Amino acid sequence: MKLIVTKDYEALSTRAAGLVIEHIQQYPSSVLVLATGNTPLGMFARLVNAYRRGEVSFHNCSLVELDDYFNISLDDRRSLYKWLAAEFINQVDIPAENIVRFNTASTDAKEECARVEQAIANLGGIDLLVLGLGPNGHLGFNEPGSDFESATRVITLSAASIKSSAQYWGKEEDVPRQGITLGLKILSAARHTLLLVGGKQKTQIFNSTFQGPVTNSIPATILQQQQNLTVIVDKAAAGNISTRSA
Ligand code: GLP
């Protein structure tokens, strides 16, 4: 694992965008999985700017959704896909046919999850996975207690995740109760992973993720075993963990 501690969120975002661009320059046909949430917003803004300046093209990339709410219409204002589309997809040159979106309105959850897993298999697996860290240690919507071998599935959101998601949608009652997420098994097979952690509200969970035991009560601890993992954390979130590479 490589750990990069940046002085602040802006530097974290710049570093993250730089690494994504380098990756795409090296592997132009990358299969990308990119988290939503507040943390990657700065990275997306920089990627869009780099694309506009002609420094990077996503034309040959594919993109698979990491997670979304479930049992909501495709047009729902809370759709995480729409979030990703507004911040990134609609502003760069990824062809629509290269995008795998969860059908959040599907009436057959099992079939929908199998469809997305098959799509990833057909693409040859995930090349670059960019993750945020849930305040309770969730990855995507793999909530505490998720099996490390878990497949892509529909889950009931934990009370902690509903609470933290309320910051995006107004109040807790506005947060959908179900999520659909790529499973930990498929995430752990990604060839390269970038984890972004920013802000002092993440210090404790960041510490538990990398300095405590590997346990599915904190799903993110699975990352201690992840191949080719780069963690970018700002000083506020890093607490007393200083820069080191391993
Ligand atoms: C959300 C998303 C995750 C995201 C995480 C952290 O609920 N489902 O994909 O990475 O929680 O979000 P934030 O970056 O806003 O802290």
Percent of the chain with pLDDT over 90: 97
Atom of ligand 1 lying closest to residue 161 CA: 7
For residue range 114-138, list pLDDT tens digits in order.
999 999 999 999 999 999 999 999 9
Q: How confident is the model at residue 242 (pLDDT cuts 50, 70, 90)?
A: low
Go through the domains of the chain in sequence order and give each one's CATH number: 2-236 (3.40.50.1360)
**Cα 54 → chain centroid:** 25
The average pLDDT across 225-230 equals 98
**Taking the model in full, what pTM does it have?**
0.97
Q: pLDDT tens-digit profile of 162-193?
A: 999 999 999 999 999 999 999 999 999 999 99
What is the predicted pLDDT for the residue at 245? 40
Measured by CA distance, the residue closest to atom 5 of ligand 1 is 134
- Which of 138, 192, 216, 234 does the annotation list as catalytic? 138
Q: What mean pLDDT value characterizes the chain? A: 96
Catalytic, out of 136, 142, 192, 216: 136
- Cβ–ligand 1 distance for 176 under 6 Å, the answer no
- What is the model's pLDDT at position 71? 98
- 201 CA from centroid of ligand 1 (Å): 13
Q: Which entry of 67, 68, 87, 117 is annotated as an active-site residue?
A: 67
Residue 246 pLDDT: 34
